[in-house]
């Protein structure tokens, strides 16, 4: 039984990483267009790198398209009063540090595309609890430690069910529920809901 589960996990991860590679190659033209847009919109690098807590809280470098002004992390302390999230996390839906292009990319989740590299490297999965910055992960209560027992994902049930409209406690409970009951069927549902959310946001932003 255990051997069968391990084999299933290995096969699943192989196809996931292979699929991520194929998708990344297919999206290279899109990344090229986004590169031009980001560079014309503001000064700074195209790719933003940040240390996040991965499986078992092991730090890894996450890749995203830069959506904020350079050195945005240094200005976070000045925005703490505007934090819209409860718990030990920091999130502002319309963060004033966003560049014009960056706000669009963030709201449509297009800034997450480079995380396909993290999947190929084996640091992330397509579906799983979203990786938190290392300092925020260290402040997560121990009762939610189970969320760190699996690879973090590009998308999760938290995103599929509303993200910014949920409390920190609801977010953590969704992650725990996913880890306990994850299945191929659940992953397909989360991916479908995520795609619908992205399409709706792109259409909304374009109007």
pLDDT digits 0-9 by tens, 19-55: 999 999 999 999 999 999 999 999 999 999 999 999 9
Would you say residue 126 lies in a domain?
yes
DSSP state of 53: E
The pTM score is 0.89
Would you say residue 27 lies in a domain?
yes
Distances (CA, A) of 146 to 70, 79, 94, 149, 165: 34, 30, 31, 5, 23
Can you give the pLDDT at residue 102? 94
Q: Which residues of the chain have pLDDT under 50?
A: 4, 7
Can you give the pLDDT at residue 58? 97
CA distance linking residue 104 with residue 64, whole number of Å: 14
- 138, 142, 146, 151 alpha-carbon torsion, rounded to 10°: 0
The alpha carbon dihedral of 51, 57, 60, 62 has a sign of negative
CA distance linking residue 58 with residue 134, whole number of Å: 9
Would you say residue 38 lies in a domain?
yes
Number of domains present in the structure of the chain = 1
Neighbours of 197 (CB within 10 A): 18
Task: Note the residue count of the chain.
Answer: 207
Q: Which domain holds residue 123?
A: 14-206
CA distance linking residue 119 with residue 205, whole number of Å: 28
CA distance linking residue 35 with residue 111, whole number of Å: 11
Would you say residue 4 lies in a domain?
no
Would you say residue 185 lies in a domain?
yes
Would you say residue 3 lies in a domain?
no
Beta bridge partners, 63, equal 49
Can you give the pLDDT at residue 2? 55
Would you say residue 180 lies in a domain?
yes
């Amino acid at each position: 039984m255990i051997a069968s589960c391990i084999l299933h996990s290995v096969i699943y991860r192989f196809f996931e990483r292979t699929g991520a590679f194929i998708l990344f190659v297919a999206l290279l033209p899109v990344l090229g267009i986004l590169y031009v847009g980001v560079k014309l919109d503001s000064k700074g690098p195209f790719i933003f790198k940040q240390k996040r807590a991965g499986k078992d809280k092991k730090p890894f470098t996450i890749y995203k398209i830069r959506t904020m002004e350079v050195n945005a992390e240094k200005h976070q302390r000045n925005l703490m009063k505007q934090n819209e999230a409860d718990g030990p996390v920091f999130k502002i839906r319309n963060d004033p540090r966003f560049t014009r292009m960056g706000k669009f990319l963030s709201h449509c989740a297009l800034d997450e595309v480079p995380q396909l590299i993290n999947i190929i490297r084996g640091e992330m999965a397509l579906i799983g609890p979203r990786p938190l910055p290392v300092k925020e992960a260290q402040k997560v209560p121990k009762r939610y430690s189970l969320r760190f027992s699996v690879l973090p994902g590009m998308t999760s049930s938290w995103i599929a069910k509303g993200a910014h409209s949920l409390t920190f406690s609801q977010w953590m409970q969704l992650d725990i529920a996913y880890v306990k009951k994850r299945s191929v069927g659940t992953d397909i549902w989360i991916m479908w809901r995520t795609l619908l959310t992205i399409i709706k946001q792109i259409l909304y932003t374009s109007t």
